[in-house]
């Protein structure tokens, strides 16, 4: 179905921009086609490739990122995939794809809202490919799959205690006493934030002290099992960061956003450093996390993100690739903690970047302004601040302009853009892994 902007909405300048995009948009095959990822070889020389998404519930975005990631792993030596997910949940999947023994847990993985974000058929297919890819490779050469997020307070406490129970029971007893401060709030950490801001409780000293003790014993613990210590130390860092995150979320969205994205970027750096100087990583996260925040309204109000931090740290060795769509359907909820529904995505506003890409007439395309000929022409065409759409796990079509559009300068936000005119929802599933190898965590 062709959807066009209302008559009379285009200026001559808009017409010129659309003509430039038509000349430079590279048509892409469907994401499941073998040749879809061929044009992305040009990004193989980067050390860090950040792959975005304009929604958290679109099948084409998951399939496209999976195809690009497979290509970068197979042809260009990328060895880490880091995603916008909780570390303990993704740690179980990492053990599965790297053929390591399961780590039992009383917590069910990916059980919290929004469970469909990783419990979907599209991601499951990619996980199975990673496991098959790793099977014949030496342990140290296997691709890792890591979670970057900060929300796993309860699961991370459990992971640290489980590790110390096995390796140092006396230290485990001290950790239980310290983490006892957080125990009443583990099921609903937001309530801890409310209690902390009112002065009722403050668990920061205990979280800091436990992390400090764990790191002080690094050499001793690493000698027994460096992988398990790395996991435990990261969970202790998450507890420290989560305590601060929930304490700051009531003071303002800017401070809590920055804390979260700084934590995710530092986690990424830590994983890459542990892998060694030759590590090459791919990040899967929303456009709002992987694009350069300084080129968007969020940056203009004081927020930064993974993309901006990566741009500073890695310079031209990092490439951020945004994703966008015009219309279709998406898996999302109408409010936080509400059931997932399949919703219709409204056609993009005529004053948005998405409308410009829609008018190119390309069903699928890659537009690259880092290495394509006439780079300046593309950058100039997109260089005026325009609206851009962002749909997360919540979609509110009735208030779409206020809820989901923001101003951005796309050539400064991304290095390239993948476009799908029409998109379909992901396919939610009950469990990510099934059969005899399903893990105790409920994966």
* % of the chain at pLDDT higher than 90: 82
Share of the chain above pLDDT 70, in %: 95
Assign a CATH topology to domain 1-78+280-443.
EreA/ChaN-like  fold (3.40.1660)
pLDDT digits (tens, 9 = 90+) for 264-276: 999 999 999 999 9
Q: What's residue 199's pLDDT?
A: 85
Q: Per-residue b/e over 118-155, b at no fewer than 16 CB within 10 Å?
A: bbbebbbebbebbbeebeeeeeeebbbbbbbbbbbbbb
Residue 341 — very low, low, confident or very high, per pLDDT cuts 50/70/90? very high
Determine the pLDDT at residue 427: 97
To the nearest 10°, report the CA torsion of 38, 44, 48, 50. Answer: -10
- pLDDT for residue 307 is more than 50: yes
- Calpha distance 251→246 (Å, rounded): 10
Whether the predicted pLDDT of 6 surpasses 90: no
The arithmetic mean of pLDDT across residues 38-43, rounded, is 97
pLDDT category of residue 5 using cuts at 50, 70 and 90? very low
Read off the pLDDT of residues 118-169 as tens digits, 9 standing for 90 and up: 999 999 999 999 999 999 999 999 999 999 999 999 999 999 999 999 999 9
CA distance 90 to 346: 33
| Overall average pLDDT of the 78-85 stretch | 98
> If you average pLDDT over residues 229-251, what whole number do you get?
93
Of 11-20, 174-183, 362-371, least confident by mean pLDDT is 11-20
Task: Provide mean pLDDT across the span 76-97.
Answer: 96
pLDDT on residue 3: 40
Q: Are strands 341-345 and 281-284 parallel, antiparallel or unpaired?
A: unpaired
pLDDT at 433 over 80: no
Q: What's the mean pLDDT in 173-192?
A: 91
Q: What is the tens place of the pLDDT at every residue in 390-427?
A: 999 999 999 999 999 999 999 999 999 999 999 999 99
Q: Which helix (H) or strand (E) holds 261?
A: helix 253-275
Q: Do 1 and 34 form a contact (C-beta atoms < 8 A)?
A: no
Q: Which residue has the higher pLDDT, 88 or 106?
A: 88
Closest CA to 287 of 69, 73, 56: 56
- Whole-angstrom Cα distance, residue 26 to residue 363? 11
Q: Which DSSP category does 199 fall into?
A: T
pTM attached to this predicted model: 0.94
């Amino acid at each position: 179905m062709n959807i066009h902007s209302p008559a009379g909405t285009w200026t001559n300048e808009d017409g010129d921009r659309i003509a430039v995009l038509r000349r430079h948009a590279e048509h892409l095959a469907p994401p499941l086609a073998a040749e879809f990822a061929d044009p992305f070889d040009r990004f193989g020389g980067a050390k860090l490739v950040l792959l975005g998404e304009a929604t958290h519930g679109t099948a084409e975005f998951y399939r496209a990122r999976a195809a690009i990631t497979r290509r970068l792993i197979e042809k260009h030596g990328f060895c880490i995939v880091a995603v916008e997910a909780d570390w303990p949940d993704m740690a179980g999947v990492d053990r599965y794809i790297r053929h390591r023994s399961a780590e039992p847990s009383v917590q069910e993985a990916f059980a919290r809202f929004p469970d469909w974000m990783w419990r979907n058929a599209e991601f499951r297919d990619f996980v199975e490919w990673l496991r098959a890819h790793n099977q014949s490779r030496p342990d140290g050469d296997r691709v890792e799959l890591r979670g970057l997020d900060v929300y796993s307070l309860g699961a991370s406490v459990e992971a640290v205690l489980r590790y110390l129970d096995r390796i140092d029971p006396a230290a485990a007893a001290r950790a239980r006493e310290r983490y006892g401060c957080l125990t009443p709030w583990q099921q609903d950490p937001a309530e801890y934030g409310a209690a902390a801001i009112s002065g009722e409780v403050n668990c920061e000293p205990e979280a800091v002290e436990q992390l400090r003790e764990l790191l002080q014993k690094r050499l001793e613990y690493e000698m027994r099992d460096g992988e398990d210590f790395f996991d435990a130390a990261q969970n202790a860092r998450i507890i420290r960061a989560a305590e601060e995150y929930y304490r700051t979320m009531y003071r303002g969205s800017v401070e809590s956003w920055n804390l979260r994205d700084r934590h995710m970027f530092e986690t990424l750096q830590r994983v890459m450093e542990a892998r060694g100087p030759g590590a090459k990583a791919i990040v899967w996260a929303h456009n709002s996390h992987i694009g350069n925040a300084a080129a968007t309204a969020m940056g203009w109000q004081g927020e930064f993100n993974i993309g901006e931090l990566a741009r500073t740290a890695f310079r031209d060795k990092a490439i951020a690739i945004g994703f966008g769509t015009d219309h279709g359907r998406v898996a999302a909820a109408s409010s936080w903690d509400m059931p997932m529904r399949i919703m219709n995505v409204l056609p993009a506003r005529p004053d948005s970047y998405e409308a410009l890409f829609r008018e190119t007439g390309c069903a699928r395309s890659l537009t690259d302004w880092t290495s394509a000929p006439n780079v300046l022409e593309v950058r100039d065409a997109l260089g005026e601040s325009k609206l851009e759409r962002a749909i997360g796990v919540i979609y509110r079509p009735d208030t779409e302009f206020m809820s989901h559009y923001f101003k951005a300068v796309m050539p400064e936000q991304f290095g390239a853009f993948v476009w799908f005119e029409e998109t379909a929802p992901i396919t939610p599933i009950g469990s990510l892994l099934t059969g005899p190898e399903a893990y105790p965590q409920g994966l």
